[in-house]
Amino acid sequence: MPNTINQNEINMLRAELELLMRERQALLKVTGIAAGLIAEMDSHELPISAVEAADLLATSINDLSEETLQDALKAVHAAIIE
């Protein structure tokens, strides 16, 4: 009986981990797309409210670790051009 309980718990944890990994991949794609959008924007052509929203988004993206940002860009097949 204890093996069954442990196996059930393992299966539940495995399912939860798979769900979290799919969600992470989706969030990485959104982040990568957002980073690409910010990189291509010309703030001089936007209304001030859009510039403020873009600045907030850019700040949030810049707060990510380098590894996470690279993962996000890879998720959308983008690259940082220095």
The tally of domains found in the chain comes to 1
Q: What is the pLDDT of residues 24-35, one digit of tens each?
A: 999 999 999 999
Could you list the residue range(s) of the whole structural domain that residue 24 is in? 2-75
Whether 14 maps to a domain, the answer reads yes
Give the chain's count of helices (H) and strands (E).
3, 0
* Rounded-to-integer distance, Cα 61 and Cα 58, Å: 5
Whether 18 maps to a domain, the answer reads yes
Whether 57 maps to a domain, the answer reads yes
Whether 41 maps to a domain, the answer reads yes
Q: What is the pLDDT of residues 35-80, one digit of tens each?
A: 999 988 888 888 999 999 999 999 999 999 999 999 999 999 876 5
* Rounded-to-integer distance, Cα 63 and Cα 45, Å: 25
Whether 80 maps to a domain, the answer reads no
Whether 50 maps to a domain, the answer reads yes
Whether 17 maps to a domain, the answer reads yes
